[in-house]
Amino acid sequence: MRRLVVILPVLLFAALLGIMAALLTDGERNNDPSRLPSPLVGKTAPVISLPAIAENIPGGFSTEDLKGHVTIVNVFASWCIPCLAEHPLITKLAADGARVYGINHRDTAADATTWLRRHGNPYEAIGADTDARASLEWGVTGVPETFIIDANGKIAYKHAGPITPEVLEGKILPKLREAEGG
């Protein structure tokens, strides 16, 4: 009996540590924003109609413009540091022939225009989403977020967070090929 009094608390403590370690490990995986499931994947992209951010920037687009071709839609803002970090990869996608559209999230026309002039504009069109209504419709939880839209106008993939070289090679490019039917 005395042995049980000594061993039982040690066993309970070890079990508690094991449970805590499992929860922490699982919690780290679940806190990864790129793992956020999107209820919109596989569904038609939400209806939007966005104006251009400025007269001298090609832009303004609607959901209808996303049909007929596989399209990348990148939600970005000039004030977003991770957006700047991923911008060279968005530019590379466009330079390699990807059709890239932008949703400028909660930004001013002046700030967005200055940012694009400074860092380059890889977008075929950019829609101004100053009040974030379109972003809300698309289920955007923060910037940057990137969507792959198939030729039928359905969301094939959503990536929350910045695109890194690893994300580009391991997720974006394979999903683009898949959406293109190859």
Q: Tens digits of per-residue pLDDT, 79-105?
A: 999 999 999 999 999 999 999 999 999
| Displacement of CA 6 from its chain's centroid (Å) | 53
- Which residues, including other chains, have CB under 8 Å from residue 52's CB and lie 6 or more apart? 58, 59, 60, 125, 126, 127, 128
Q: Return d(Cα 94, Cα 100) in angstroms, integer.
A: 6
- Does position 116 have pLDDT exceeding 90, yes or no? yes
Phi and psi, residue 157, nearest 5°: -165, 150
**Pairing outcome for strands 49-50 and 61-62:** antiparallel
**Chain-wide mean pLDDT for the chain?**
88
For Cα atoms 146, 152, 157, give the angle at the middle one, nearest 5 degrees: 25
Sign of the torsion angle spanned by Cα atoms 157, 163, 167, 172: positive
When mean pLDDT is compared across 6-15, 43-52, 104-113, the lowest value belongs to: 6-15
When mean pLDDT is compared across 22-36, 57-71, 115-129, 155-169, the lowest value belongs to: 22-36
Q: How large a percentage of the chain has pLDDT more than 90?
A: 73
pLDDT number for residue 51: 96
Q: Return d(Cα 151, Cα 67) in angstroms, integer.
A: 5
pLDDT number for residue 33: 46
148-180 pLDDT, tens digit per residue, is: 999 999 999 999 999 999 999 999 999 999 999
Tokens of 154: 């359905």
pLDDT number for residue 28: 46
Q: Does residue 88 have a cis peptide bond before it, meaning omega lies within 30 degrees of 0?
A: no
Q: Return d(Cα 25, Cα 73) in angstroms, integer.
A: 32
pLDDT number for residue 93: 98
Contact 70, 180 (CB under 8 A): yes
The pTM of this model reads: 0.80
Contact 165, 177 (CB under 8 A): no
Three-state SS string over 85-130 comes to HHHHHHHHHHHCCCCEEEEEECCCHHHHHHHHHHHCCCCCEEEEEC
